[in-house]
Amino acid sequence: MTGTNGKTLTTALTVSVLNEKYPGVLTNPSGSNMEQGIVTTFLKAEKPQSGRPIAVLEVDEANVINITKYIEPKAFVFTNIFRDQMDRFGEIYTTYQKILDGVALAPNATIIANGDSPIFHSKDLPNPILYYGFDNEPDQDFKAKANTDGVLCPKCEHILHYHSLTYGNQGKYFCPHCGFSRPELTYRLTKLGEQTPTSSKFELDGHPFKIQIGGTYNIYNALAAYAVGQFFDVSPTEISNAFNSDERVFGRQEVIDVAGKKVTIILVKNPVGLDQVLQTISSETHPFSLVALLNANYADGIDTSWIWDGDFEKLTQMDVPKFITGGERYKDITFRLKVAGVPDDKHIVEPDLKKVVADISELPTERVYVLATYTAMLQVRDILKEQGYIKEAIGE
């Protein structure tokens, strides 16, 4: 599993799906997705009792080549590519090339790719390729919004048009100049049902499903897991059972009781992901407060300029009575929310994350959303474990 957004949840859902038919799937569930973490996963693995073991691995985009040097996979899953951690990856085409450098070592592996992402149809590859995507809207003709990345036709460099668009540059794209278009989909979302901040109902190839997590972007993750399940002959009924039984994944809309508050922790790390999170929580029907925590360590991305591309202005359209900003780069995120229009009298600035946790218990709403970069989320979880609100921190 590789790509910018959705690796961890897609991996967790896929493990649940495959476990329905092939018990004992090996994985790196904590998101330790670089070479060292994956080696550790195999070192800790117990020998299977019977049958050939299956491993489902989340792999950092730049580390695919470090894994395929030693392991030839049966399949790759490409979730999406958006601008992310530019100090590490550069632009989206550089990121994709890093992935393909690793894929080149496994030319017989099937690629299961997000067909709604134009970049995954931009190069001819020797591998067999199967595509998944959304196919639930009547055809129209329009362009993505201004400043959207990755909307140039990879064949003729004219601007792509869309028959339908989900978010970012993802959708049923086509080029009116040269005829380049979205490939034929093997696995389809055919209907969207009820959507809430904490759940999603939908149909895949006509089969009904529900996941206990909100957001269009997370339905893509479920669709990818469904595609892998179908590829490995897991039935729709078994896949539905897996989705129904799946627990919230670390940092992916997990809800924690903190002093009587329902605290939802969500990982944010790039503009597209942030915008999707804000879009999801904007449908919340109960009053909520919002906490934004920004760090800038290697695992977060040292360059924090992405916060200026995220649509924090959307927050001013919601009735949020209180905001808290914190983290090692609290000054940056505080200033960003100020520019977005968050008034000072609604805003608590607190660099110390222990005090942030204490402040959460004093917020005026029962529901609290915490948007945190990766290492900030780790730090908050350590504090919550220390104070007895959760049993485990990451990796335990």
Q: Is the pLDDT of residue 88 over 70?
A: no
The Cα–Cα gap between 102 and 178 comes to 30
Arithmetic mean of pLDDT over the chain: 90
pLDDT confidence band for 394 (50 / 70 / 90): low
Q: Is the pLDDT of residue 276 over 60?
A: yes
Q: Read off the pTM.
A: 0.84
In the chain, domain spans: 7-245, 252-386
Element (H, E) at 113: strand 110-114
Paired strand residues for 266: 252, 371
Q: Is the pLDDT of residue 260 over 70?
A: yes
Tens of pLDDT, residues 14-32: 999 999 999 889 998 666 8
3-state SS of 269-323 is: CCHHHHHHHHHHHCCCCCCEEEEEECCCCCCCCCCCHHHHCCCHHHHHHCCCCCE
Tens of pLDDT, residues 209-223: 999 888 898 999 999
Q: What is the pLDDT of residue 110?
A: 98
Q: What are phi and psi of 90, to 5 degrees?
A: 75, -155
The Cα–Cα gap between 106 and 114 comes to 19
Q: What is the pLDDT of residue 33?
A: 82
Residue positions annotated with a catalytic role: 303
Tens of pLDDT, residues 301-337: 788 888 988 888 988 888 899 999 999 999 999 999 9
**CATH 3.40.50.300 applies to domain 7-245:** no
Percent of the chain residues past pLDDT 70, beyond the cut: 93
Instruction: Give which of 247, 223, 182 is closest to 16, Cα–Cα.
Output: 247
Q: What is the pLDDT of residue 76?
A: 98
Q: Which of 187-191, 233-237, 254-258, 356-360 has the lowest mean pLDDT?
A: 254-258
Instruction: Give which of 364, 348, 267 is closest to 337, Cα–Cα.
Output: 348
Q: Is the pLDDT of residue 101 over 60?
A: yes
Q: What is the pLDDT of residue 338?
A: 95
Those residues with Cβ within 8 angstroms of residue 343's Cβ, 6 or more apart along the chain or in another chain: none
DSSP 142: B
pLDDT confidence band for 396 (50 / 70 / 90): very low
Residues in binding site: 153, 156, 175, 178
> Do residues 160 and 118 touch, judged by C-beta distance below 8 A?
yes
- Enter the CATH code of domain 252-386: 3.90.190.20
Q: What is the pLDDT of residue 221?
A: 96
